[in-house]
Amino acid sequence: MCHNWGVDATLQTQPPSGVPEGLPFWLLWFLLCVILLLIVFIFLRDKDLRRRISAFLSGARRHMLRLRLQVKLKKENEKKAGLWRELGKLAWKEDVRAPCIEEECGKLSGLEQEIGRHQKTWHDVFSRIEVLGREHEAALERFRALVSEQEEARRPHQEEMLALANKKKEILDPLEASLREAEAAEAQVRAVEKDVRNAEENPKLNEADRTARLDKARDKAASLAGLVRALREKAPLLQEERYRLERRLEEVEGRVRVFNAAIHRIEEEYRERLQVREKEIREWQKAKALIQDKIVDVKRLMEPLFKNVGRILDEARIGHEDLAVVYFQIDGVNKTIADLEDRLEHLK
């Protein structure tokens, strides 16, 4: 059964006899070439079609060429306007005067005077900012010097305060240790006294044993009592030294607090002064920026006047040695503009 399934699968994958497998590849390309030859033949026979296609392609080329010429013409006109401004500025700088530009020169003179006033104000403001800056730096130096002076005077007291604190700690440690030893020795004395009472009251002990135990306990009690006395005598001395150090430490800490308060007072006083001066400097700097903006605005108003002066001088061609170079440049631009306009006219 498995063999039959394999045969059936092979038969299903093979196309039935008599069914075409498709066109050969070379025949497809042959048919495409024939179609292209027919299209070319029709195009060559139809003159009107050829003329319309040629007109369409020519119109597209003319349109693109016209756009490029218009862009060049725009740039040349902008260049000419720039030369007019340059001519006007040069004429104003060289003090060229003529009746045809008298009105524009009057306006330029008024604007230049306004710029002069703004520049004077700007220099006054700038000088004020410099003065405030120097005063601010001087105040900072005084502030730092005063704080440094107080810190320098405080330093030995801080060092003494640290030394006293360390010495106090050195005393507290043995004082606490001696007090603990004294308490432990007293507890041992009480235990020995209890042993003495027990030995005296114990009827089972003979007289020799009782005497030996009592002597041993009394010797130990005497030794412990001596240790307690020594410790108790040592503790007051350490306690007195501790109190003396604490009193001295309080005095030194009080002096340090005085210096700290002085430094804090100086910082508060100068912080307020410095903040007021910094705010004043910022306000003057804002005023300087506003004046600079005004100067820029007035100079911007002068630009079209320079252009008008240059245009009028270009038309009048007032004779002047320094203006001749700009006239020559304008003539070159005019020639280019005329050539571009002529080419655009022929493209219509």
Indicate the range of 17-21, 148-152, 214-218, 236-240 predicted with least confidence: 17-21
Q: Is the predicted pLDDT of residue 249 greater than 60, yes or no?
A: yes
Q: Is the predicted pLDDT of residue 3 greater than 50, yes or no?
A: no
What are the tens digits of pLDDT across the range 255-277?
A: 899 999 999 998 888 888 888 88
Q: What is the pLDDT of residue 270?
A: 86
Q: What is the pLDDT of residue 8?
A: 42
For the segment 80-85, the average pLDDT, to the nearest whole number, is 93
DSSP for 226-253, written as a single string? HHHHHHHHHHHHHHHHHHHHHHHHHHHH
Half-sphere exposure at residue 41, Cβ-oriented, CA atoms within 13 angstroms: 6
Q: What is the pLDDT of residue 19?
A: 41
Q: Which of 119, 235, 223, 135 is nearest to 175 (CA)?
A: 235
Q: What is the pLDDT of residue 169?
A: 74
Question: What does the mean pLDDT of the chain come to?
Answer: 78
Q: What is the pLDDT of residue 60?
A: 67
Q: Is the predicted pLDDT of residue 146 greater than 60, yes or no?
A: yes
What are the tens digits of pLDDT across the range 14-60?
A: 444 444 455 677 777 877 888 887 777 666 666 665 566 665 556 66
Contact 344, 66 (CB under 8 A): yes
Q: What is the pLDDT of residue 47?
A: 63
Helices (H), the chain: 2-13, 25-45, 47-93, 102-201, 207-316, 321-346
What are the tens digits of pLDDT across the range 89-104?
A: 998 888 888 888 889 8
Indicate the range of 115-129, 139-153, 312-326 predicted with least confidence: 312-326
Write down the pTM of the prediction: 0.55
Q: What is the pLDDT of residue 221?
A: 60
- Report the distance separating Cα 326 and Cα 321, nearest Å: 10
For the segment 125-144, the average pLDDT, to the nearest whole number, is 92
- Report the distance separating Cα 6 and Cα 309, nearest Å: 102
SS3 308: helix
Q: Is the predicted pLDDT of residue 294 greater than 60, yes or no?
A: yes
What are the tens digits of pLDDT across the range 152-210?
A: 999 998 888 888 888 777 666 565 666 666 666 666 666 666 655 655 555 555 556 55
Torsion of CA 80, 82, 87, 89, to 10 degrees: 160
For the segment 124-149, the average pLDDT, to the nearest whole number, is 92
Q: Is the predicted pLDDT of residue 278 greater than 60, yes or no?
A: yes
Q: What is the pLDDT of residue 132?
A: 92
- Report the distance separating Cα 325 and Cα 312, nearest Å: 16
Q: What is the pLDDT of residue 94?
A: 87
State which of 40-54, 159-173, 238-252, 323-337 shows the largest mean pLDDT. Answer: 323-337
